[in-house]
Amino acid sequence: MAIYTIQPKRSTLHGSFSREASPILTIQSGDTVRFETLDADWNAGPEQANGRRVEFCTRKHPQDSGHALIGPLYIADAKVGQSLAIHINELRVGTWGWSQGGGFASAVNNRLGMQEKEGYHLIWELDATNMIGTSDKGHKIRLHPFMGVMGMPPDEPDIHSTIPPRYCGGNIDCKELIPGSTLYLPIPVDGGLFSVGDGHAVQGDGEVSGLAVECPMELVDLTFTVEDRALSFPRAQTPTSKITFGVHKDLHEASMIALEGMIDWMQELYGYERKEALNLASLLVDLRITQLVNDVVGVHAVLDEDKLII
């Protein structure tokens, strides 16, 4: 199995999803790619003392309007109707990050009356060895890094925003997807055209301000495997749990999509009848709000494996 390394440069960066995008690399099922990524906002470094930010490179709108993503990758074996398993081997944060509360129009900020004037902005120094973040105003928090965006384009023409997650992945923003986890995505187009970006040093469920500690990642080590099974929505296996996802404009419907995915998976794994799976899900499965801020809301259903004694 081959191992590749990709660093951010103008030719490897983009800020949208499109089935017409030209791949930057072709790999085989079983190959590993080691990425270095920018923060979501295309910054070359932390905010300067004068408040200025310097973009890493010139952006070409509209195809670069969204998160700074590396890709797309063409997986030679990937076909529509199969699924792509993305195993997260290792994640290492960069040395800096930033976060913000309020200061722009959004459903949350508008509801809380925090959309006007400047937001509350923090610049973070990130210690990847001790996994501690320290803000420029003295806050200290423990880091829990993960990638906000891992996904492929829908099988539809034109370009698509990186903001809303879809059935084929994208801006899922699930903090459970740590090293040792595998994300399973339906393959929407032949070759997959997978992209990754939007490193988060830490985020709470909900991502309520609209931002995590946004940061570059020094290493995003992923192994890609094509599996001959059909999925309708993403799933994940973490070191401790099974997760299914739902996204929708309506929170209840997003919850039902995640729940139905978990019931389906419990039937596949354990041979349960459907009502039996629902009965046990009510006892063992947690529904969590993944995020409230990406045009659609996200819910993930979590089955901690130590709760179920087979």
10-28 pLDDT, tens per residue?
A: 999 999 999 999 999 999 9
Residue 131 has pLDDT above 90, yes or no: yes
Please give the C-alpha separations between residue 228 and each of 2, 85, 217, 232, 238, in angstroms, as whole numbers.
Answer: 21, 10, 31, 13, 21
Locate 196 and state its tokens. 């990754």
70 and 199 Cβ atoms separated by less than 8 Å = no
The pTM for the full model equals 0.97
182-225 pLDDT, tens per residue?
A: 999 999 999 999 999 999 999 999 999 999 999 999 999 999 99
263 and 277 Cβ atoms separated by less than 8 Å = yes
Contacts of 129 (CB under 8 A, 6+ apart): none
> How sure is the predictor about 310, in pLDDT bands with cuts at 50, 70 and 90?
low
Please give the C-alpha separations between residue 43 and each of 59, 198, 216, 261, 262, in angstroms, as whole numbers.
Answer: 11, 12, 9, 37, 38
46-58 pLDDT, tens per residue?
A: 987 667 889 999 9
Mean pLDDT to the nearest integer, 163-171: 98
The domains located in the chain, with CATH, are 3-99+141-227 (2.60.120.580), 240-304 (3.10.28.20)
> How sure is the predictor about 308, in pLDDT bands with cuts at 50, 70 and 90?
confident
